[in-house]
């Protein structure tokens, strides 16, 4: 009887294994939604991705809460922007995690900004100038050309950490790259009417977007990066626009729109809320939707309307 039961159990074993949920090989903690989305594109079923922040949060201002510490403790790979974007919380998070594999300098730690050309690198660092980053502006994700560079480097890191599935990661990177290049060609053609348009920014968060599209930033509402504009500062920008008119004022989805809306109402130009990252709008569900929606909003504003 025991032998018969044993044989029956062995016969059922393949079915039980097939029914069991597959375990992802790499646990990834992404600091920002764009890198979580990219890691999922490149890793597919081989990765388990968690994201530390949302599109409605300022990535500078995050708390190293216990749930994030637990995620970092169990992670095989931490993917962040770098360039000091997470300087206020990531070092503490990694320290409290006690996970030696994901510390800076180890293969389990990846900085996206390290593989792209940084803009707005200060020639002289003075903290009295506000939230200035010594390595340059960290908001690299607003240029799809940067996404392509990061994808290549991140895929190589996945292949290094999980050599058993290196061929699958390489295949997924080739597929993503082909689709991304096609999308960039489409976006570049769509964006032609934006080239040279003067714009106002609420925060210095879009230099890479402007560099890609050829938009011209003529004013910034924040007197210093990270410092909310006063009424006096807003009035000064409004006065300056009389000599240098702008076509729109731009802010990110995570920001309080009041300064942009004030300037919009008083200057008679559209206030444009850009998703800034994946999840920043209903349409920005993934990286492709992020740029589809960003361009749609900019083109609507340039044509005299504004997408809500």
Tens of pLDDT, residue by residue, the chain (308 residues): 444 444 444 444 444 444 444 456 899 999 999 999 999 999 999 999 999 999 999 998 898 899 999 999 999 999 999 999 999 999 999 999 999 999 999 999 999 999 999 999 987 666 555 556 678 999 999 999 999 999 999 999 999 999 999 999 999 999 999 999 999 999 999 999 999 999 999 999 999 999 999 999 999 999 988 899 999 999 999 999 999 999 999 999 999 999 999 999 999 999 999 999 999 999 999 999 999 999 999 999 999 655 55
Q: Please state which CATH number belongs to domain 26-187.
A: 3.40.50.1980
Tell which CATH architecture fits domain 192-302: 3-Layer(aba) Sandwich (3.40)
Q: Is 25:46 a contact under the CB 8 Å cutoff?
A: yes
HSE-CB at 134 with a 13 A cutoff on CA atoms is: 5
Residue extent(s) of CATH 3.40.50.1980 domains in the chain: 26-187, 192-302
Distance of CA 264 to the CA centre of its chain: 26
User: Which residues, in sequence order, are CB contacts of 16 under 8 Å at separation 6+?
Assistant: none
């Amino acid at each position: 009887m025991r032998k018969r039961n044993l044989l029956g159990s062995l016969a059922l074993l393949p079915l039980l294994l097939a029914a069991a949920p597959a375990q992802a090989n790499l646990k990834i903690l992404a600091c920002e939604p764009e890198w979580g989305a990219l890691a999922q594109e490149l890793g597919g079923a081989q990765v388990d991705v968690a994201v530390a922040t949302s599109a409605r949060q300022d990535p500078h201002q995050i708390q190293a809460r216990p749930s994030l510490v637990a995620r970092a403790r169990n992670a095989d790979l931490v993917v962040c922007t770098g360039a000091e974007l997470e300087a206020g919380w990531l070092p503490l998070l990694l320290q409290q995690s006690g996970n030696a594999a994901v510390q800076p300098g180890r293969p389990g730690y990846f900085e996206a900004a390290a593989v792209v050309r940084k803009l707005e690198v200060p020639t002289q660092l003075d903290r009295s100038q506000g939230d200035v980053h010594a390595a340059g502006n960290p908001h690299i994700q607003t240029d799809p050309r940067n996404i392509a560079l990061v994808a290549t480097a991140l895929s190589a890191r996945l292949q290094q950490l999980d050599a058993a599935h290196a061929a699958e990661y390489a295949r997924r990177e080739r597929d993503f790259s082909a689709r991304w290049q096609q999308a960039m060609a489409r976006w570049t053609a769509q964006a032609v009417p934006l080239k040279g348009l003067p714009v106002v920014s609420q925060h210095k968060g879009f230099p890479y977007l402007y560099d890609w599209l050829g938009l011209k930033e003529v004013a910034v509402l924040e007197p210093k990066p990270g410092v909310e504009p006063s009424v006096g500062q807003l009035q000064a920008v409004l006065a300056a626009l009389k000599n240098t008119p702008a076509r729109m004022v731009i802010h990110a989805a995570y920001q309080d729109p009041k300064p942009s809306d004030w300037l919009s109402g008083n200057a008679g130009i559209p206030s444009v809320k850009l998703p800034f990252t994946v999840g920043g709008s209903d349409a920005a569900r993934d990286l492709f939707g992020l740029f589809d929606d960003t361009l749609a909003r900019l083109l609507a504003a340039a044509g005299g309307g504004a997408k809500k």
